[in-house]
A = this chain, B = another copy of it.
Amino acid sequence: MSLIVVGSVAYDGVETPHGKVDRMLGGACTYISLAASYFTSVEIVAVVGDDFAPEDTALLEGHGIGLAGLERVPGKTFFWQGVYSADMNDRTTLRTDLNVFADFQPELPAAYRSQPYLLLGNIQPALQRSVRAQMTRPLLVGGDTMNYWIQDYREELLATIAEWDFLLINDGEARMLSGESNLRKAASKIVQMGPRILVVKRGEHGAVLFSGDEMFFAPGFPLERVFDPTGASDCFAGGFAGYLAGQGIDAPSGKACSADLRRAVIYGSVMGSFCCERFGVDRFRTLTRGEIDERFQQFRRLTEF
């Protein structure tokens, strides 16, 4: 039983106040699958060009990530370049070369279609929907989106998330999607759009889970130094869905109980926090499950009273 992850595998150029890297492994699918791999078996569906480096393939394989759905086509891999502000709360995109990603039409290998868990990274809603349609009996489906799709592809996005069990978005996106500035009212409206599990990510302020009548607030982990926030939100998604998949959660039957969902939010927060400790995916080269569980306990100490 695997978690299928669909999204971008990319190369990134990133500058933060702590340094500059011209080209390193990145992309939502990469971050999600690395984070999820600590909790469950993961298979990815993505596309790369013929420039995709063997050592990057090896990193994914080293985490046990199934690459049968990683399509390799002639051309260059998606490239993104950005620079962060001094406090790292804003970033400016300097360059986006879609390259082979421009024609990405995710096609699930036959063996993936009967898997129970699906996490859709931030890509065009119609593509996310086409992937969902290829699954034969999913137990838990969800994903991420962004302001661009909310503004310019609203109907397509609404049709897509109507078929999801969970949605992970940030607070600005939640307000944009719902038209409500109050977080609780925004959440009520979004849950009515389909996904009965909603996680609103609030950057350094943590994340909020809405599910039925339940709300759960997780703080952001107070890092002394954020090296590079790139991918933190995707790592949250990977930790969240990876933990639920690893527990064998069955959303439609209601088995995704409050305790599981709360723990999943904390594991998501843990993975997002580790991601920020090094440039790009570097933290995942050494990270152990033991360190993850230790930070999970630190979250308990940060919040219990």
Contacts and interface: CB of A to CB of B under 8 A. Distances in A.
B184 A217 contact: no
26 contacts: A182-B224, A182-B225, A182-B226, A183-B204, A183-B222, A184-B222, A185-B224, A206-B217, A206-B219, A208-B219, A208-B222, A215-B302, A216-B302, A216-B303, A216-B305, A217-B219, A217-B303, A259-B305, A262-B305, A266-B305, A299-B305, A300-B305, A303-B303, A303-B304, A303-B305, A304-B304
Contacts of A87: 181
A302 B224 contact: no
A266 B217 CA distance: 14
Contacts of A110: none
Contacts of A219: 206, 208, 217, 219
Interface of A: 86-87, 181-185, 202, 204-206, 208, 215-219, 222-226, 259, 262-263, 265-266, 299-300, 302-305
Q: Which of A225, A262, A265, A303 has its CB near the most chain B CB atoms (within 10 A)?
A: A303
Contact of A223 (B184, B223, B304): B184
Chain A interface helix/strand/loop/mixed: mixed
A86 B222 contact: no
B181 A86 contact: yes
Nearest to A216: B302
A222 B204 CA distance: 18
Contacts of A86: 181
Contacts of A262: 304-305
A275 B116 CA distance: 47
Given A184-B224, A206-B219, 20 more contacts: A86-B181, A182-B223, A182-B225, A182-B226, A183-B222, A184-B222, A205-B206, A208-B219, A208-B222, A215-B302, A216-B302, A216-B303, A217-B222, A217-B302, A217-B303, A259-B305, A262-B304, A266-B305, A299-B305, A303-B305
Contacts of A182: 223-226
A216 B304 CA distance: 8
Contacts of A183: 204, 222
Nearest to A264: B305
A15 to B, nearest CB: 17
Nearest to A202: B205
Contacts of A216: 302-303, 305
